[in-house]
Structure 1
Amino acid sequence: MTVDFWFGLVVTGGAVVGYGLYLLVIQFVPASPALGPALRRLHPTLGVDGDLTVTAPVRTSWLARLQLPTADLNILGRTPGRHLLSIGLSALMAFLLPVLLTFLAVLAGIYLPLIIPVAATLVLALLAAALAHLDMMAKASSARAEFVRALCTYAALTAHQVRSGHGAVEAMERSASICSGWPYTRLRTTLLTAQLQMRPPWDELKTLAGDIKVVELDSFADIMRSAGNDGAQVYQTLRAQSSSLRDQIRVRALEEAKTRTSKLDIPSTLLIVILLVLVGYPLMASLINQR
C-alpha cells in the first residue's frame, strides 16, 4: 500500500464522517415555517359555487404529472418539492457510493471494467430513491394510524363536553385544547382556521379529512354537523364512534402482533438448527475419529 492510497482513504473517510455529522446536526435545527400555504389558507377565494375555497398553490406541469401521493405528504406536513428533494438526495448518496469504492479500488491498483461501476451506480441510485419513497409512505401510514388513535380520544372528550352542556363548536374547541401532540395541533389549527374564515368548523374538518384521507374524521365531522345545524343529541353517537374506533385499533394491534410473531418463527427455527449443529458436531466428530 502506498502513501497516496492511505492519504486518499483518510481524506475520503473524514469527508464521509463529516457529512454524516452535518446531516445529524441539521435534524435538530428548527425548520422555517411554510408561510405561503398558511397565508393561502387564511385568505381564501370564492369558488364557482360561491363557497370559500383555499387557493391552490401553483405547481409546474411536470410536477403535476408525477402523481405524487398528496394525502401522504399532507399528513406528514411535507411539500412535493421537499419530497422530491429527499428522493434526489438519497439517490445522490447511493450514486456517490460506487464512485467512492471505484476511486479506492483505483488507488489500490485494482482496475474494474467500466460497465461494473456504472451498472452498480444506476442500480443503487434507483434502489435508494425507491426506498426513500417507500419510507415516506410507511411514515404516512403510521401517522394516519396515530391520528386515528388521537381522534378516538378526541371523540370521547367531545362527547363529555357535549354532555356537560356546551355547544358543538365550543365542545370541539375545548376538547382540542386539552391534549397535546401533533394530531391535536392539526385539529386546533383547523378549528382556528374555521374561526378566522367564519366557516363552520365541521366543514374545515371534512376538508382536513379529505386532505389526509382519514375517513374517521369525516364521520366525526358529519356527527358534529348534525349537532350544530339540527341541534341533535350526539353524546351517544360520539361515544359509539369512540368505542368503534377503539375496537378497530385493538383489532389492528392484534393483527400486527400476530404478524410480528409469525416473523419470529424464522429466526427461532434457525437458532434451533444452529444449536442442533453445535450439539451434534462433537458427537459426529468423535464417531468419525473412532472409525
Structure 2
Amino acid sequence: MTPLAWLIVVGALLGGGLALLVAELRPGPPDLGAALDRLGAGRGSGMAVEPPARRAGAESATPRLDRLGGRLLDLPGLTLPHRELALLGRTPARFMAHKLLFALLGLLIPPYLVVFAALIGTGLSPVVPVIGSLGLAAALWFLPDLVVRSEAKAGRVEYLHGIAAYLELVALERAADCGPAEALVRAAAVGRSAVFRRITDALDRATLARQAPWDGLEALAGELGLTPLQDLADIMRISGTDGAAVYRTLRARARNLRAELLAEDLARANVDSERMVAPGSALVTLMTVLIAFPAVYQMFRGG
C-alpha cells in the first residue's frame, strides 16, 4: 500500500473511534426498565416481587457498555462522584464505561502517531509511544471526573432554580387550602423540566412505599445533596404533623434561595470580568507595540 493509502486507513480508524466515543458520551433516551425499577423501590413494603424471567429479560436488555462498566465498579480504591451522577441522571456503570473508553483512546493515540511518523519517514524510539500511551491513558482516565463535576455544577444551579419555583408553587397550593401532601403533588405536576420530573418520581416512590411525600423529598435531597429541598421536606413535615401555617415560611425560603442564586451569579460575573482584564491588557500592549514599532525602528536606523 502507498503512504497515502496508509494515511487514509489510519485517519478513518481514528475518526471512527472518535465518532463512537462521541456517540457514547451523548445522553441517550431514558431507560424504561430503570424508571420502573426506581418506581418499584418500595416493593419490599407489600408489593409483588419481580419474576425471575422479567429480571433476566431486563439484564439482557442492558446495554453492553453498562454491563462492561458495571464490572469495573469493584476496582480497589475507586471513588465515584455519586451525587454528581445523580444530579445528571447517569449511572455509575455508564460513568465507568466512559472512563474506560477514554483510557483506551489514550492508549491508542500514540501508536497512531507512530504509524503516521513512520509513513512520513520520521522514526521514533519505541520508548516514546509506550510512555506516551501510559501517560495519556492515565490523564484521560480522570477526564470524565472533571467533565461530570463541571456539568453537575451547572446542573445544580438549574435544580436550585427549579426548587425555588417549586417552593412558590407549593406555597400557592397551601394558600388555596390544599393539604400538605396534596400541595406537594399538585405543585410537582405543574412543571415539565427535569427538576419537576425528579420530584414527581420521588413523590411516586414514597406513595408506593406507603410513606409520607416529605419522606420522599428528604430521600431525594439526600441523594442529590440539595439543602433547600431538605428544608422544604422539613417545613411540609411540620405542616403535615402539627397543622402549622407554612405559606409565609415557604415564600420566605423561596425568596432567600433566589437571593443566594443571584449572589452566586453576580460573583461569577465578577470573576469573568476579572479574567477579561488580562486578554484586554495583552491586546492593548500588542497594538501599542505595532503602532510604535515603525517609528522606533526608523529612529534607531536613522541614528
Q: What is the TM-score with the length of structure 1 in the denominator?
A: 0.88
Residue among 5, 8, 20 paired with 2:6: 8
Shift of 1:12: 1.6
Specify the alignment match of 2:283 in structure 1. 271
Specify the alignment match of 1:143 in structure 2. 155
2:179 is equivalent to residue 181 of structure 1: no
Specify the alignment match of 1:155 in structure 2. 167
Assess if the C-alpha contact under 8 Å between 1:5 and 1:104 holds in 2: no
2:42 is equivalent to residue 44 of structure 1: yes
The residue identity in structure 1 corresponding to 2:278 is I
2:218 is equivalent to residue 218 of structure 1: no
Pairing 1:42-81 to 2, within 5 Å after superposition = 42-44=40-42, 62-63=74-75, 65-81=77-93
Residues 59/225 of structure 1: CA separation in 2 closer, same or farther (3 Å cut) = farther
Shift of 1:228: 1.2
The residue identity in structure 2 corresponding to 1:5 is P
CA–CA separation in structure 2 for the residues paired with 1:93 and 1:60: 17
Secondary structure at the aligned position of 2:2 is classed as: helix
The residue identity in structure 1 corresponding to 2:78 is L
Residues 282/60 of structure 1: CA separation in 2 closer, same or farther (3 Å cut) = closer
CA–CA separation in structure 2 for the residues paired with 1:164 and 1:96: 63
Residues 95/281 of structure 1: CA separation in 2 closer, same or farther (3 Å cut) = same
The residue identity in structure 1 corresponding to 2:96 is L
Specify the alignment match of 1:200 in structure 2. 212
Shift of 1:10: 1.4
Residues 64/46 of structure 1: CA separation in 2 closer, same or farther (3 Å cut) = farther
CA–CA separation in structure 1 for the residues paired with 2:73 and 2:280: 52
| Alignment deviations for residues 118-162 of structure 1 (CA, whole Å, 9 cap, x no partner) | 222122111112222111111112212211111001001110111
Shift of 1:82: 0.9
Structure 1 unaligned regions, length at least 5: 48-57
Shift of 1:28: 6.7
Assess if the C-alpha contact under 8 Å between 1:161 and 1:171 holds in 2: yes
CA–CA separation in structure 2 for the residues paired with 1:34 and 1:202: 25
CA–CA separation in structure 2 for the residues paired with 1:100 and 1:68: 31
Specify the alignment match of 2:33 in structure 1. 35
The residue identity in structure 1 corresponding to 2:90 is R
Residues 191/250 of structure 1: CA separation in 2 closer, same or farther (3 Å cut) = same
| Alignment deviations for residues 99-125 of structure 1 (CA, whole Å, 9 cap, x no partner) | 111111112221112222222212211
Specify the alignment match of 1:50 in structure 2. none
Residues 46/27 of structure 1: CA separation in 2 closer, same or farther (3 Å cut) = closer
Residue among 171, 179, 186 paired with 1:167: 179
| Alignment deviations for residues 17-46 of structure 1 (CA, whole Å, 9 cap, x no partner) | 344444555667843516257426514366
| Alignment deviations for residues 79-115 of structure 1 (CA, whole Å, 9 cap, x no partner) | 2111111111112222211111111111222111222
Q: Mean Cα displacement is larger for which, 34-43 or 131-140?
A: 34-43
Q: What is the TM-score with the length of structure 2 in the denominator?
A: 0.84
Specify the alignment match of 2:294 in structure 1. 282
CA–CA separation in structure 1 for the residues paired with 2:211 and 2:105: 47
| Alignment deviations for residues 45-80 of structure 1 (CA, whole Å, 9 cap, x no partner) | 669xxxxxxxxxx99882585231211111212221
Residue among 130, 140, 143 paired with 1:131: 143
2:80 is equivalent to residue 82 of structure 1: no
CA–CA separation in structure 2 for the residues paired with 1:30 and 1:237: 39
The residue identity in structure 2 corresponding to 1:274 is L
Residues 121/25 of structure 1: CA separation in 2 closer, same or farther (3 Å cut) = closer
CA–CA separation in structure 1 for the residues paired with 2:166 and 2:200: 11
Residues 39/172 of structure 1: CA separation in 2 closer, same or farther (3 Å cut) = same
Identity %: 29
CA–CA separation in structure 1 for the residues paired with 2:158 and 2:71: 30
Assess if the C-alpha contact under 8 Å between 1:4 and 1:107 holds in 2: no
The residue identity in structure 1 corresponding to 2:2 is D
Specify the alignment match of 1:113 in structure 2. 125
The residue identity in structure 2 corresponding to 1:207 is A
Q: Mean Cα displacement is larger for which, 73-82 or 151-160?
A: 73-82
The residue identity in structure 2 corresponding to 1:114 is P
Specify the alignment match of 2:59 in structure 1. none
CA–CA separation in structure 1 for the residues paired with 2:213 and 2:295: 76
CA–CA separation in structure 1 for the residues paired with 2:234 and 2:30: 35
Specify the alignment match of 1:255 in structure 2. 267
CA–CA separation in structure 2 for the residues paired with 1:6 and 1:122: 29
- Aligned residue-pair number: 279
Shift of 1:268: 0.8
